[in-house]
Structures are given as C-alpha cells and as structure tokens.
C-alpha cells in the first residue's frame, strides 16, 4: 500500500535557496476532487504522472502515482480538468539529513512559498529548518487542490 506521510510549512525567509540541489518547473491540474479521492495530472519537464490520493488521515494519506506520456497528460489537463493549472517551481533542499521540497508558486498563486517534508512513518523525528515557519499541514487552503480553485491572490 502506498502511503504519503508529510508535513507542510510556510516558508519565512530565502535562506533555503543556498541549500537547493535542484529545481524544476511543473504544472498540475485536477480531474476529480471528491471528499475521499483526488485525481491529478502533473507535468514536469519531459515527464508526466497521473496521481490518485485518498482522504487525509492526520498527516498520512493513500497515494498512487503512475508515469504517463506527456502528450496524454497535456490532453488530460486541457480536456478533462475541472481546475486551473497550478504552476510552481519545486526546489529540492537537504536539511539535517532530510530531503525537503520547497514549492514556489507562480501565476495566480504568486507570492506563496511552502515547504514539505515526506516521512517514512508518522513518528519519524526531524528538525524544522530556520526558514520554515508555521506548520500548515492541517490547513486545507495550502493544498494544491484548493489553490487550483481558490488562488492565493484572491485570499
């Protein structure tokens, strides 16, 4: 069973930028957003995925991700999506032995920067970097699915 366990934090300074090992622009849109399942298509460079996510239970949720042809993802996003495309650059940052991803949003979500850490278990310990602020894991407004329908610029 594929389970995603993660924490999400607002980013409060730019000091993470000096720790970035790679960055990639990506776009994603949502096909179905029911209370118990979310389906999205994502394109990053020359790779694309179709992802199914279950409802969150605390910091964990079921997640199944499948690589698909980019042309298929483009058509899915264009013809089947019920949301705006969420445009962001994902930066990979190593901190205290853990890999973090920092998502810097563009377009209608410009100005929002969040960091996520994915864990192996709900009890795994980690250090919160100095550039990470409030834990917004439980705040649905910071989920990409929400941002696709309610852009940050309208808050």
Q: State the catalytic residues.
A: 30
Instruction: Break the chain down into helix, strand, coil percent, rounded to 5.
Output: 20, 50, 30
Q: Which residues of 121-138 are buried (b: 16+ CB within 10 A; e: fewer)?
A: eeeeeeeebebbeeebbe
**Start-to-end CA span in the chain (Å):** 36
């Amino acid at each position: 069973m594929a389970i995603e366990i993660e924490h999400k934090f607002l980013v409060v300074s730019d000091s993470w930028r000096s720790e970035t090992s790679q960055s990639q622009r990506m776009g994603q849109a949502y096909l179905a957003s029911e209370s118990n399942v979310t389906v999205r298509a994502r394109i990053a460079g020359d790779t694309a995925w179709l992802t199914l996510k279950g409802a969150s239970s605390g910091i964990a949720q079921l997640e199944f991700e499948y690589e698909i042809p980019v042309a298929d993802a483009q058509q899915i996003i264009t013809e089947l999506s019920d949301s705006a495309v969420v445009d962001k650059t994902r930066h990979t940052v190593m901190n205290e032995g853990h890999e973090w991803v920092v998502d810097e949003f563009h377009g209608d979500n410009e100005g929002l920067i969040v960091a996520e850490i994915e864990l192996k278990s709900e009890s795994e310990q980690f250090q919160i970097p100095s550039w990470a602020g409030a834990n917004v894991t439980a705040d649905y407004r910071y989920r990409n699915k929400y941002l696709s329908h309610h852009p940050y610029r309208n808050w």
